[in-house]
Structure formats: C-alpha cells, structure tokens
Amino acid sequence: MLRNVSELPLEGKTVFLRADFNVPLDGGVITEAHRIDSALPTIRFLLEKAAGLVIASHLGRPGGSSDSRWSLAPVRHHLERSLSLGVQLAPDCIGPEVRRLVKGLEPGKVVLLENLRFHPGEEANDPAFARSLADLADVYVSEAFGAAHRAHASTEGMVGHFRQKGAGFLFREEVEYLSRVLSAPERPVAAILGGAKVSDKIGILKNLVPRMDVVMVGGAMAYTFLKARGVAVGRSLLERDSLGLAGDIMNEAERSGVPLVLPVDHVVAGDTDAGAHDVTPDASIPEDRMGLDIGPKTAALFADKLNGAAMALWNGPLGLFEREPFHHGTVSVARALAASGATTVIAGGDTVAAVRLAGAADAMTHLSTGGGAALEFLEGKTLPGVRALMV
C-alpha cells in the first residue's frame, strides 16, 4: 500500500521531503519550473502540519563532487518567491552544520539541503550516506517520482530507516494515473506514441499495445514502422536495426485486435533547416525528402480516433515541434485531445512542452513530471522509489 502524505502522523515531527527539482538552468536562471511548482501543494501542506521541513533534491550531473554550477541556490530563490517564505539553503546535505540547522528548525520553517549528488554516496546508494540523511528527520515523504526509477540513497536506501513514510500529492497522482492507464483504464482507451526511436519505446509498445483499444504512432519512429510495411520513407530518420521490432509490434497489434494507426501523409523538407516544405499526398516520402511532421490528413485521422475516447495516454511529440513549420501536427493533435473530453495523461517532458505550446495544458487531466521514471512504469517495471515506500 502506498500511503498519502495526508495519512501520515506529522504533528511534532520533522519531515524529510525528497523532491525532484532537477530543472533546466541557463546561466544560473531556471528556464522551466514545472517540477518545482508541481511540488508546492505538498510543501505547503507539510509546512502547515509538521514541526519542521527538510527538502532535498539532486540537480544535474555534478559527478559526486561539489560544483557551484549545480548549486540549488536558484531553486531556493524560486521557492522563496513561490512560498513567500524565507528558505535556508544548507551548505551541504549531511554533516554537523546541517544537523545544527535542522535541529533549530521551527514550525513553518524549511531547510533546503544542498545538491545530493555533490556526494558520490547518493548515486552509489551508500548505506552510511543514506543513514546520515535519514538521521535528519522522523518522517519520510517522496515527491520525486521523476527519480523513482533510480535506486539511490535518497530515493531507496534511506527509506528503510523510517517507520512513517509516504508519497506526496503529486507522486501519488503519478502512480494512480499511470496505473489506471495500464490496469484499469476507462474504455475506450487510446495511446499516442511519438518520439525519435522505436528502440527507446520498445518496452512501452510491447506493454501498451495489447492493453489499448487503438494506438497511434507518429514522430520519427513512425518512419521505421512505415519502412517495415514496405512504404518509401526517403531520407527520413530510420532505425534499420529496429525494422524487425517494428514488424513484431505490428503483428502483435493485429493478433490483439488493436488498430495500430500510422501516418497517411507527411510534412517533408530537404533538411531540418529548410524553409521550403511540402505535404505528401499519401504515406510515401520522396527519395530527396525527409519527414518532419505528420500531415494534415494524419492529424485529422488521429483526431477522429480520439473522438469518443474515454481515456488517452500521449508520450512523444509527432514531429520536430520545436521548429516552425514542423509543429502544426503536434499542436493540432494536442488541441484535439484537449477537446475530446477524455481523461488525458501526458507523459514525457517534450510532450508536456508540446501541449503547453498548443495552449492545451490546462485542459489535460494529468501532466506527468516523471520523465524516464514514467516510461519505465509504463513498461511495467517496478520502480525502486515506489517499492521502497510501500507499507
């Protein structure tokens, strides 16, 4: 059983909150704060209920040593603005000075530990490092679903030292929605899968296809599927080593009676920087062109398949949506999905960015912050950071 933070005894307790503040930075400035903002309801709840709050996260890949480029100072500033509260950034995540700061915590106050990955013991899941972290608090709460696929000290190793442990509101929501897609979806249920490589999505495809009522494939990986069907794909991105896998997936879909819908037209150009582009009349792509977006007929086809869906999962953009004019297919499908009335689960950072670009984010039921963790969950894997929380 996965306990919610609201079920935990918090009064008079110091809480260790493992957050996922691994946000993009540009010159020390946060460029996208969705992961931080998504944790704010849990943080506010804990500030109101607990005697003290210790927040920990990793940021970037500092390689197990202190590196000012990966300090959580920008996160501290964002938290202070969002919470209208002073946030003390500890000089480290373990050690005497950190223990002193935590011991002096008052109700309604928070200490943000410095980057966990400044210590090699974090990624190595070192028992002594995990014990030092656990000694800081009485209760453990995870709001780091995005790191739950890693068996690290702060996501798995330290959790066994706590009798009282549970999931933050977002973590619990992530598990609930992704579990529903796999095990108890509203019917009919649709999946939209995009992105670049079939090989990156093979686990998801194998696990999802038999469970869905319809699967739509777009993005660059669609060209491998089309090639496996004998369709010309020109100079489009192609995984020749995955042609057999694509054929196996299509055969499995046919055996399961699940329609696997591929693009029927494309937006094509000579290269990714080309201003000149064309729309193909059908699924075939000329020899001197590469597919860079689904075409308007495909966007309409996908929208028609979504019409009447009770639940839909989307992972992976359907074209080179970061560049005009190759974003129209992704934006069109995002808006169709928002208008469908379905319970919608959006998984993957690029897909979340795409629905935001389309102005459709607020209409989606759940925007996952899970990244690689969400993908592994959808593959059917048991995540170490979820298993450790179970009571």
Active site residues: 35, 197, 349, 372
CA distance 37 to 34: 5
Do residues 260 and 253 touch, judged by C-beta distance below 8 A? yes
CA distance 164 to 265: 55
Residue with tokens 């656990």: 134
The distance from CA 387 to its chain's CA centroid, rounded to whole angstroms, is 18
C-beta neighbour count of 306 within 10 angstroms: 24
Do residues 93 and 118 touch, judged by C-beta distance below 8 A? yes
